Amino acid sequence: MPSTSVKKFNRTKLILLSPLALGIIGSALVYMQEHKVHRSIASIEPYQAHGLMIGKQAAAMTIEIVGPESYPESNTEVVELVGFITQYLSADTPLSYEWSLPAGVELVRGPQADTLANISLGKAQQVSILVKGFSRDAQKLISLKTQITTSNMPLTASAVVVSRPEETMEARVMDLQAQAKAAAEEAKEKDSETK
């Protein structure tokens, strides 16, 4: 018959290890559920407003840049870039924005910097520019930066679009994930054939 000190020790171990076991089981259940998220390169697909905010949930502004489905091969062709700016917090100053163009890219039409006054909160505002020199010839980045001031505190946001999206790290990661998934499915098929 075990002594009372052994019973207390076993009860203490049980009390301390039960939450740990529940945590491990819960983590395993969450890990086993597969969450499929649609990921794509933002500069390739046409713009669709997202009903669900992904990223910073308390962001003052969000920005998305949309370019053509494919960029031209020649630096002499004109490209339209459209920025969608959504402001979520009221501000003391109008929203200001600025397009940053790299060397070799020239502005053909549209304001490179401007302010947007009386923006409806939560509604995307469209700003666009036409540029020349933004082509597949070389990897170039164009950014759109915004700023508002609330209670004497500047709040900023930015987005970037690239001329060769397939060469970005994000695209490479997506390719590797697709290859890994295809290899796993192929191995699964071979395994089921051998059984």
Stretch 10-37: mean pLDDT: 75
Res 36: pLDDT: 47
Residue 38 lies in a domain: no
- pTM here is 0.60
φ, ψ for residue 138, nearest 5 deg: -150, 155
Helix (H, G, I), strand (E, B) or coil at 173: helix
**pLDDT tens by residue, 173-188:** 888 888 888 888 888 8
| The pLDDT of residue 114 | 94
E strands present in the chain: 61-66, 78-87, 95-100, 106-109, 113-116, 125-132, 141-150, 153-162
In CATH, what number is assigned to the domain containing residue 134? 2.60.40.10
Whether residue 161 is contained in a domain is answered as: yes
42 belongs to a structural domain: no
Q: How many domains does the chain have?
A: 1
The answer to whether position 16 is within a domain reads no
Is 13 inside a domain boundary? no
Whether 195 is in a domain gets the answer no
Which has more confidence, 80 or 5? 80
Is residue 117 in some structural domain?
Answer: yes
DSSP state of 104: T
Residue 119 located in a structural domain: yes
Please indicate whether residue 142 or residue 1 has the higher confidence score (pLDDT).
142
Domain of 101, in residue numbers: 61-171
**pLDDT tens digits, 54-100:** 555 567 888 999 888 888 888 888 999 999 999 998 888 999 999 99
